[in-house]
Chains A and B, each alone.
Chain A
Amino acid sequence: MALENAAVLERVQARFGQAVLGTGEFRGTLALQLRPDTLPDVAAFLREDPELQYILLANVCGVDYLGREPRFEVVYHFTSLMHNHRIALKVGADEDDPRVPSIAREFPTATFQEREVYDMFGIIFDGHPDLQRILMPEDWDGFPQRKTEPLVYEEVAFTFNHDEIDAQKPYAKE
């Protein structure tokens, strides 16, 4: 039984009418822009509904739309193994206080993926059981995938500025 995007959208909107702020479709994958506070309920519904059964949380991604409001976005990709169908949920997060509710209770696999989004973008997941850095060193300062972070670590050396850069390099002593 194949799922249709229109049928999925209808089913979600019938249950969470005011939660869906917008919809989109890219290469056949339905994307729902959600109100952040409704995210855990919608995720649980997608998993439990016998017609949908999106039981696999495939991705949690962070996006930095610098200059847009809200600046950050978290994207969740779910897969329904029963129906071989995918759906994306998107929630926005403000620049000043980027917060999104965690869905670690609904999907335990989200714990590590949300930690990675926190590590790279500094988005706080409310209700996460253990929100700490996962890839970067614990004492790291800043969130490296934000667009406001510098792109390169050190200036690119050419012949005209090589000596200058080399003099500043922290070479190891014995």
Chain B
Amino acid sequence: MGLEEKAGDMGIVTTSLEAAVNWGRTNAMWPMLFGLACCAIEMMASQASDYDLSRFGMEINRASPRQADLMIVAGRVSRKMAPVVRQLYDQMSDPKWVIAMGDCASCGGVYNNYAIVQGVDEIVPVDVYVAGCPPRPEALIHGIIMLHEKVRREKIGQYKAVDNRKPEAVRLDAEGRTVAMAERR
């Protein structure tokens, strides 16, 4: 069969690189510490001892987008906040995923007015939408597990194709120096 037969004592398991990498990504996801409204309270509850998100390898939020690879948009995004959300997304390191938590982040919810972005997918690409107003912690955990399943199906080659794009936040000028992202805004 594989290497384990030759090794004899079953101390080695063979698998594909893809499965190993995706397993590592799903079980060590780092959400960003970022709450916008009442949904953030449910997000905190899902990480606390009652619901215990650490069972799925996500026990701690990172306060810096550089150290995070999952953005949970927990709450309504106002039009004044939208550039900030996009900037935080741009600052996260690849590979990165986005969960739109709750009705407001998914489609604007009850706030169909001038102040609120009608769905956070207008400014960042969303992987999983969690319905509810606000969603219960079980619903958020369900959404995160769905994201895990999605990540497990990801092909490394495919992600690389996306990964090779020039990040919108940082551009290189003619001499190869990075151009500040303030230019974009």
Central interface residue in A151, A169, A172, by most chain B CB within 10 Å: A172
Query: Is A152 positioned at the interface, with any CB of B under 8 Å from its CB?
Result: yes
B135 to chain A, nearest CB (A): 20
Q: Which residues of A contact B119 (CB under 8 A)?
A: 169
> Are A152 and B112 touching (Cβ within 8 A)?
yes
Q: Give the interface size class of chain B.
A: 10 to 19
Query: Is A156 positioned at the interface, with any CB of B under 8 Å from its CB?
Result: yes
Render A18-40 as a binary contact track against B, CB cut-off 8 A, 1 for contact. Answer: 00000000000000000000000
Considering only residues 109-157 of chain A, those with a C-beta below 8 Å from chain B are: 135-137, 140, 144, 149-154, 156
Query: Is A173 positioned at the interface, with any CB of B under 8 Å from its CB?
Result: yes
Number of cross-chain contacts by CB at 8 Å? 43
Query: Is A160 positioned at the interface, with any CB of B under 8 Å from its CB?
Result: no
Render A76-93 as a binary contact track against B, CB cut-off 8 A, 1 for contact. Answer: 000000000000000000
Partner of A153, one of B80, B116, B123, B162: B116
Q: A137-B79, A169-B119 are in contact. Are A153 and B114 (CB under 8 A)?
A: yes
Q: A136-B80, A137-B79 are in contact. Are A153 and B125 (CB under 8 A)?
A: no
> Are B162 and A174 touching (Cβ within 8 A)?
yes
- In the complex, the chain B residue whose C-beta lies closest to that of A144 is B114
Partner of A174, one of B80, B115, B125: B125
> Are B162 and A152 touching (Cβ within 8 A)?
no
Query: Is B108 positioned at the interface, with any CB of A under 8 Å from its CB?
Result: yes
Query: Is A158 positioned at the interface, with any CB of B under 8 Å from its CB?
Result: no
A138 to chain B, nearest CB (A): 9
Q: A136-B80, A137-B79, A137-B80 are in contact. Are A172 and B112 (CB under 8 A)?
A: no
On B, residues with C-beta under 8 Å from A are 79-80, 86, 108, 112-116, 118-119, 121-125, 162, 165
Q: What are 16 sample pairs from A and B whose C-beta atoms fall under 8 A apart?
A: A136-B80, A140-B79, A144-B113, A144-B115, A150-B114, A153-B113, A153-B116, A153-B118, A154-B112, A170-B122, A171-B122, A171-B125, A172-B122, A172-B124, A172-B125, A173-B125
New contact pairs (4) apart from A140-B79, A149-B114, A172-B124, CB-CB < 8 Å: A152-B112, A169-B121, A171-B125, A172-B122
